[in-house]
Each structure stands twice: as C-alpha cells, then as structure tokens.
Amino acid sequence: MSYAELVAIILGISLILYVVLGGADFGAGIIEIIAGPKYRSTISKAMGPVWEANHIWLIIAVVILFNGFPKVYSTISTALHIPLLITLVGITFRGAAFTFRHYDAFKDGSQKTYSLVFQWSSILTVFFLGICLGAVMGGSIPAEISGSFFSYYMAPWLNVFTISVGLFTTVLSAYIAAIFLLGEVDSDEEYERLHDITIWLFAASVLAGGVLFLSAYLTQNAFPERFLNNPVSIASAATATALVPFIFRFINAKRIWPLRVLGGGQVLLIIAGWFVIQWPDFVIFSDSSTLNIANTQAPFVTMRILFWALFCGVLVIFPSLYYLFKIFKS
C-alpha cells in the first residue's frame, strides 16, 4: 500500500471520528431542541471537557487534505465556498455559544440566548456539512469552472440530493447524540424520555436514509449504482441494520457501554460503507471524471513525511484522548 493510500485512510478515520464524536456534539444541540431545556445541564456536563478535542478531528482532516491532496482541497473550497462558509459560521457560533453558556459568570436570562444560538447553529452546521458531502459524492460539481454563477457556485450543492444528504446527517447526528446521552442522564424518568426520543430518531434516520436513496434515483446521480455494485458497502449497510435489535435490547437493559460501542459502530459502518463506494475518488464531477488519490496526491516525499507526522501525532493524541475520556467518562 502506498503512502498516499495510507494517508487517505487516516483522512477517512479522522472524518469518521469527527462524524461520530463531533456529530454527537452537534446532535446534542438538536436533542435540546427536541427535548427542551431539561437536558441542558446533562449536555453541558457531557460535552464540556471533550467537545474541543472532538472538533479538532475536522482540522486534522482539512490539514491532511491540503497537505496531501491539495487539488481536492482547492477544488472543494472553490466550488463549495458558500455552503462551507455557512458551515463555518455555524461552527463558530456553536462553539462560542456553548462556551459562553457554560462560562458566563451569571446564569440569568442570557442563558436562553446562548442556548438558542447553540441549538440552531448545531443544526445549521451539521445540515450544511451534509450538503457539502452530498455535493462531493453525488457528481454534481462541474469539472471546469464554467457557466453562470448559479450553475457553478450554487446548483452543485443546492439540489434535492444534497439536501437529502443534509437531512440524513442531521438526523443521524441527533441519533448518535441520543445514544451517547443515555449514559449521562441522572434519573430514570429522564432515561425513559430519552429512550423514546432515541427510538424516534432511529426511525427518522431510517426514513432519511430512504429519502436519500430515493432522491439519488430521482436525480440520477452516481451514488446508488456505485452502492449496489459494491459488495463491501452492501455488507456494511446490512451489518449496520443487523445491529438494530441488539441496540434496542441494550437500551432497554440500560447497558451503556455496549450501547455506545454499537451505536458508534453503526455510524462507523455507514460512513465506512460510503468510503468504500467512494474509494479511491474524493470528488466525482458531473462528467463522471474524478479527483482521486492518483491524480491529486502530493509528491512522494510529502506523502511519506505526512504519513509519519500523522503516525507520531496519533501516538501522542490517542493516549491523551484515552486519558481525557477516562477521567470524565468513568
């Protein structure tokens, strides 16, 4: 396996960790909207020590992209300038509001404003992240900059398919958040309430997944065919589905860690399944040409150094992360 492929795998892992861990943090904002202010303190307690570390997976992914696959980075950041900007505004407001809410010296009326900003910017961010992913995987970005402002800078990300991907990521992140939060609530009553929300969110995720496929067929984009022709992605989707009864059982039995592992595993399988479909392409253009590992990778020496830098970074990061989670999640 080449260094470029190894680096691409680390990129994938960073993205998965961002979606699972960071996604849960965004989802927590959505849970607050659904369940009302009741879970506010639970969420603050659970997210407080870890959200910044979770957030950094995104930065790692971006750094890998512009270091290792610069053409992908420059293409995405040009074609998806607008949704990326909206995502980043969401990230800024989400992080700021969450921190302000926790650290404001007086817990008065301003808490309500922070919460509103935190909640709605969480939704905004995760929805537009999904839109960006949809544009990258759906084959709607033109290979060359051409046509009107709308046709290059808007249409590729503003269509039925990308919106359905956005909905899917939104619902999915709320589902992961619910699963993680089940282990954080204090009373039985809250647990029951969150239990119901989790089931509803699960149903909503399945529905959103169905809508995603349907919209892919309707817009005739590259995704369904790639999915159906790939045994690994079908297998990963099937496994994710097969986990469902176990997850339900663990929810009812209040077995938090197996539940978290399976819930996280489910999301991991869904995203890994998508990666398998996508591999070795990063961006699929509207003319079916692609930006892939081979035609975008940085020179060999950069890839080698990047890989080893990431490898050493991981040796530092994972034990520290383990220590962090051990202190606060035990």
Partner 1 sequence: MSDFLAARMQMAFSLGWHIIFACIGMSMPFFMAFAEWRWLKTKKEVYLDLAKAWSRGVAIFFAVGAVSGTLLSFELGMLWPEFMKHAGPIIGMPFSLEGTAFFVEAIALGIFLYGWNKISPRLHWISGLVVGISGVASGIFVVAANGWMNSPAGFEFVNGEYINIDPVAALFNEAWFSQALHMTLAAFASTGFAVAGVHAFLILKGKRIEFHHEALKIALIFGSIAAFAMPITGDIAAKSVAKRQPAKLAAMEAHYHTQEKAPLIIGGIPNDEEQEVKYAIQIPGLLSFLAHGNFKEEVIGLDQIPEDEQPPVAITHFAFQIMVGLGMIMMLIGALYFFFRWKKIDFFTKGWWLKVLVLATPFGFLALEAGWIVTEVGRQPWIIYGVMRTEEALTPMPGIQYSFYSIVAIYSLLTLVIIWLMSRQIKAIHKKYEVS
Minimum CB separation of residue 106 from partner 1 in Å reads 6
Q: Out of 13, 28, 64, 291, point to the residue binding partner 1 (CB under 8 A).
A: 64
Per CB under 8 A, 71 contacts partner 1: yes
Please say which residue, 60 or 251, places its beta carbon nearer to partner 1: 60
In angstroms and rounded to an integer, the radius of gyration of the C-alpha atoms of the chain is 20
Q: Specify the amino acid at residue 174.
A: A
Per CB under 8 A, 88 contacts partner 1: yes
Kindly give the interhelix angle for 81-103 and 51-68, rounded to the nearest 10 degrees. Answer: 150
Q: Out of 36, 37, 41, 85, point to the residue binding partner 1 (CB under 8 A).
A: 85
**Nearest residue to 194 (alpha-carbon basis) of 184, 204, 203, 207:** 184
CB 22 within 8 A of CB 76: no
Q: Specify the amino acid at residue 220.
A: Q
Per CB under 8 A, 252 contacts partner 1: no
Number of residues that bind partner 1 (CB under 8 A): 64
| Structure letter (DSSP) for residue 21 | I
Considering only residues 276-315, where is the footprint of partner 1 by CB under 8 A? 298-299, 301-302, 305-306, 309-310, 312-313
CA atoms within 13 A on the CB side of 227: 19
CB 20 within 8 A of CB 268: yes
Largest Cα span, the chain? 58
Q: What track of x and - describes contact with partner 1 for positions 130 through 169 (by CB under 8 A)?
A: ---------------x---x---x----------------
The stretch among 29-37, 101-109, 196-204, 272-280 that binds partner 1 (CB under 8 A) is: 101-109
Please state, as a whole number, how many other Cβ atoms lie within 10 Å of the Cβ of residue 311.
Answer: 12
Peptide bond into 70 cis (omega under 30): no
The stretch among 62-70, 194-202, 216-224, 228-236 that binds partner 1 (CB under 8 A) is: 62-70
What torsion, rounded to 10 degrees, do the Cα atoms 180, 182, 185, 186 define?
-140
Per CB under 8 A, 1 contacts partner 1: no
Q: Which two tokens stand for residue 81?
A: 């300038």
Please say which residue, 243 or 317, places its beta carbon nearer to partner 1: 317
Per CB under 8 A, 324 contacts partner 1: yes
Residues at the contact surface with partner 1, assessed by CB under 8 A: 48-50, 52-53, 55-56, 58-60, 62-64, 66-68, 70-71, 73-78, 81, 84-85, 88-89, 91-96, 98-100, 102-106, 145, 149, 153, 298-299, 301-302, 305-306, 309-310, 312-313, 316-317, 320-321, 323-324, 327-328
